[in-house]
């Protein structure tokens, strides 16, 4: 049988390693030898027994195409079943793909089941048919930080195949998103990417690297995954390709006809058309596209990429589902800490503006094999240490951020998969309550984030920002709980013990201790 989940790949590594806390020697990343406290692979491998992962709630609009692939780890072949599905939906028992459409608004409680020769697993799943999409933060992959102007139909299809083959899809990753450079480049004489930007009827054209957009999205959808696209409201995109300016309604219909499920709408050259710098000016192009998307016979999640201008977190939910709160993470210069920290610190301050269907977006997860955004050349191994990568993923999960990986899907190594594919970490991000973690404490040397979860437990991230190991403490009074608490290490997926009033842990340099606290009486 094939090993189809990412953590079964990790099992092979673990069986030949002296221990899970040794350095991740097979991973293409910075040598952690200069630090004595860098962990290796912490996430336990997925077992043979089925386990259903990913979101517990999913939203769609009435009468629109519905597509959801049940994320499940365990040995394949596996069969799936579902009870309580609303009328109009059907499940393929072999693939676990739920499809169809639901005409009647409402909340439907269903039970999903996955079964193989090792056993059976079941999970409650709520389907909400209404007007709100993205009830949990979107999860997936974006082409920008690895392929840049080299992106192609072949690259996108391969990314979809890798999302299935590595097991990322079995943890809830579902969006396969093209970024810039799929259109025709304005005034280019390159026959592959130049030419007319629109046909005689004004319909947007893709360049020759994308010969059939509908066929490409059909390929992605056949795997139970979703397809995302990118454009600017300005005349040109950031890379100089055709934008949507004065063709917004037509482009929205084209994206729907092609079968896309996600749109990243990037400010770029719209600055040349904006009347000024008021909130209304910043809001105008997104309001226009949002209104057009509501008219379509297809659900399209709208991502506002406008870098936090006009305090977008205060109004983004009116015209989109998620919004960038800062500049590009890939262009953020490191100081005493890698750039993702400063981006994360800024994003964390907007915690009270996040809720289901409305998410603060601090940009993509740039680990594994990733490109240099300043040079836009071929990718290289991340310079982040293992500790820093665990901190990155922990911070994004606590902040209810979209989990969009933008490294090389064809070069995923066991360590990177262990960071991306920990179901307990992902459950914090995908929690149906939809709270973003608040800052409980922040000093130059430490950060504590706490996130309330639907079941009454609390997720806590203790981040060591200093250059040496340190002890960090969180008190129950800090986070508004009391009594005996059972503390669980989410990265190692193991119980630490029962604690009263406080919890203290040692964090490595730029490291994190990520735990879940639950009332002991509830255990």
- Residue 463: which CATH number? 2.60.40.1180
Q: pLDDT tier at 37 (50, 70, 90 boundaries)?
A: low
d(CA 488, CA 352): 26
**Residues 442, 425 share a domain:** no
Identify whether 455 is a catalytic site residue: no
Does the pLDDT value for residue 476 go beyond 80?
yes
pLDDT tens per residue, range 151-161: 999 999 999 99
Q: pLDDT tier at 520 (50, 70, 90 boundaries)?
A: confident
**Residues 422, 465 share a domain:** no
Q: pLDDT above 90 covers what percent of the chain?
A: 92
Last residue of a domain, one of 129, 164, 191: 129
The catalytically annotated residue of 48, 92, 257, 328 is: 328
Q: pLDDT tier at 38 (50, 70, 90 boundaries)?
A: confident
Q: Which residues of 144-160 are buried (b: 16+ CB within 10 A; e: fewer)?
A: bbbbbeebbbebbbebb
Q: Which two tokens stand for residue 486?
A: 């059972």
**Residues 496, 407 share a domain:** no
464 three-class SS:
strand
The catalytically annotated residue of 153, 170, 180, 266 is: 266
Q: pLDDT tier at 7 (50, 70, 90 boundaries)?
A: very low
Domain CATH code at residue 108: 2.60.40.10
**Residues 179, 102 share a domain:** no
Over residues 181-203, the mean pLDDT reads 97
Q: How much is the pLDDT for 500?
A: 95
Q: How much is the pLDDT for 298?
A: 98
Mean pLDDT of the chain: 93
Q: How much is the pLDDT for 12?
A: 38
Q: How much is the pLDDT for 491?
A: 98
Q: How much is the pLDDT for 85?
A: 98
309 three-class SS:
coil
Domain CATH code at residue 424: 3.20.20.70
- Spatial strand order in the sheet of 301-305: 359-361, 322-324, 301-305, 262-266, 226-231, 175-177, 139-142, 403-405
Does the pLDDT value for residue 258 go beyond 90?
yes
**Residues 152, 170 share a domain:** yes
| Total domains present in the chain | 3
Q: How much is the pLDDT for 521?
A: 67
- Tokens 């990417």, located at residue: 193
**Residues 481, 398 share a domain:** no
Last residue of a domain, one of 394, 409, 429: 429
pLDDT tens per residue, range 377-397: 999 999 999 999 999 999 999
Q: Is residue 390 part of a domain?
A: yes
Over residues 52-65, the mean pLDDT reads 98
**Residues 466, 407 share a domain:** no
**Residues 251, 216 share a domain:** yes
φ/ψ bin of 351: left (φ > 0), alpha (ψ from -120 to 50), beta (otherwise) = alpha
**Residues 64, 95 share a domain:** yes
pLDDT tens per residue, range 431-460: 999 999 999 999 999 999 999 999 999 999
Does the pLDDT value for residue 31 go beyond 80?
no
Q: How much is the pLDDT for 30?
A: 35
Q: Are β-strands 403-405 and 322-324 bridged in parallel, bridged antiparallel, or unpaired?
A: unpaired
Does the pLDDT value for residue 36 go beyond 80?
no
Q: pLDDT tier at 349 (50, 70, 90 boundaries)?
A: very high
Q: pLDDT tier at 498 (50, 70, 90 boundaries)?
A: very high
**Residues 251, 210 share a domain:** yes
Q: Which residues of 88-121 are buried (b: 16+ CB within 10 A; e: fewer)?
A: ebebeeebbbbbebbeeeeebebebbbbbeeeeb
Does the pLDDT value for residue 21 go beyond 90?
no
d(CA 486, CA 500): 9
Q: Is residue 42 part of a domain?
A: no
Q: How much is the pLDDT for 8?
A: 41
pLDDT tens per residue, range 300-331: 999 999 999 999 999 999 999 999 999 999 99
228 three-class SS:
strand
Domain of 465, in residue numbers: 438-522
Q: Is residue 36 part of a domain?
A: no
Identify whether 328 is a catalytic site residue: yes
């Amino acid at each position: 049988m094939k090993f189809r989940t990412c953590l079964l790949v990790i099992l092979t590594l673990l069986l030949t390693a002296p221990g899970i806390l040794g350095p991740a020697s097979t991973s293409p990343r910075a040598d952690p030898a200069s630090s004595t406290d860098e962990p290796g692979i912490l996430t336990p491998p997925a077992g043979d027994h089925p386990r259903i992962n990913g979101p517990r709630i999913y939203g769609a609009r009435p009468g629109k195409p519905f597509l959801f692939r049940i994320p499940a780890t365990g040995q394949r072949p596996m069969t799936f079943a579902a009870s309580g599905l609303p009328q109009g939906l059907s499940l393929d028992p072999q693939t676990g793909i739920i499809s169809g459409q639901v005409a009647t608004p409402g909340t439907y409680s269903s039970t999903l089941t996955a079964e193989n020769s090792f056993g059976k697993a079941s999970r409650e799943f709520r389907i909400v048919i209404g007007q709100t999409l993205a009830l949990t933060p979107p999860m997936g992959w974006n082409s920008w930080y690895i392929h840049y102007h080299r992106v192609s139909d072949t690259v996108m299809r391969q990314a979809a195949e890798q999302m299935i083959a590595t097991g990322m899809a079995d943890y809830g990753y579902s969006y396969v998103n093209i970024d810039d450079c799929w259109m025709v480049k304005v005034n280019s004489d390159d026959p592959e990417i130049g030419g007319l930007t629109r046909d005689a009827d004004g319909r947007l054209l893709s360049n020759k690297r994308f010969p059939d957009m509908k066929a490409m999205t059909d390929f992605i959808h056949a795997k139970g995954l979703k397809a995302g696209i990118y454009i600017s409201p300005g005349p040109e995109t950031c890379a100089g390709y055709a934008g949507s300016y004065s063709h917004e309604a037509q482009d929205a219909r084209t994206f729907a006809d092609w079968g896309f499920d996600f749109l990243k709408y990037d400010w770029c050259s719209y600055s040349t058309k904006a009347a000024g710098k008021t909130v209304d000016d910043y809001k105008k192009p997104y309001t226009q596209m949002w209104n057009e998307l509501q008219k379509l016979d297809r659900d399209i999640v709208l991502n506002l990429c406008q870098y936090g201008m006009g305090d977008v977190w205060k109004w983004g939910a009116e015209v989109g589902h998620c919004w960038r709160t800062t500049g590009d993470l890939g262009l953020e210069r490191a100081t005493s800490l890698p750039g993702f920290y400063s981006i994360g610190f800024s994003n964390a301050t907007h915690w009270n503006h996040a809720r289901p269907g409305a998410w603060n977006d601090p940009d993509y997860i740039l680990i594994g094999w990733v490109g240099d955004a300043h040079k836009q050349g071929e990718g290289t191994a991340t310079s982040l240490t293992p500790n820093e990568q665990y901190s990155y993923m922990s911070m994004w999960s606590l902040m209810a951020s979209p989990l969009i990986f933008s490294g090389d899907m064809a070069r995923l190594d066991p360590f990177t998969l262990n960071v991306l594919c920990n179901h307990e970490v992902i459950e914090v991000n995908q929690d149906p309550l939809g709270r973003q973690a608040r800052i409980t404490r922040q000093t130059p040397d430490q950060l504590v984030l706490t996130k309330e979860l639907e079941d009454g437990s609390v997720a806590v991230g203790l981040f060591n920002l200093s250059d040496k190991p340190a002890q960090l403490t969180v008190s129950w009074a800090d986070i508004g709980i009391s009594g005996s608490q059972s503390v669980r290490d989410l990265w190692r997926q193991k119980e630490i013990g029962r604690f009263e009033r406080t919890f203290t842990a040692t964090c490595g340099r730029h490291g994190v201790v990520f735990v879940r606290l639950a009332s002991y009486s509830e255990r």
